Amino acid sequence: MQKLKVLLLSFVVGAAALAACSPKAAKVETPVAVTPQAVQGAVKLLGQWNGPEGTYLQIAGADGKYAVTIKNLDGPRTFQGSGTGDTITFERDGKPHTIRPSDGAATGMKWLADKKNCVTIEAGEGYCRD
């Protein structure tokens, strides 16, 4: 009986020692892609936006750098822009301009007044998708 107690005690001590020396399971974390808010918001502006009389605004690019093509009645011109928040800024004819989300009424253009998904560069210059 004494031998059985010693054997049982040895087993318990050995198991405890092994458990104490075993490495703990590593916590696995799923990586989360971190994208600056400026890029996330400006990405929504990518693509073509249409204006009246065949005019349009086309935005292409990524990582906060954008090619802004504006076709007005004189023809298309392309400018380099950068994303900040949900806007894209660019320089045209030496003046800074900002493309920002809006609705048709905010464009100040009667042709776009009833539209909902638009962008405005300045009063009287806007483009829409719907």
What domains are there in the chain, each with its CATH number? 37-128 (2.40.128)
pLDDT at position 57 over 60: yes
pLDDT at 66 over 90: yes
Q: pLDDT confidence of 17, banded at 50, 70, 90?
A: low
The residue-averaged pLDDT of 1-9 equals 52
**Across all residues in the chain, what is the average pLDDT?**
82
Which pLDDT does position 3 carry in this prediction?
57
The pLDDT of 50-62, averaged and rounded, is 96
As a whole number, mean pLDDT of residues 26-31 equals: 52
The reported pLDDT for the residue numbered 13 is 54
User: Cα separation of 11 and 31, whole Å?
Assistant: 42
CA distance 42 to 86: 5
Q: Which band of pLDDT confidence, cut at 50, 70 and 90, is reported for residue 84?
A: confident
Distance of CA 66 to the CA centre of its chain: 13
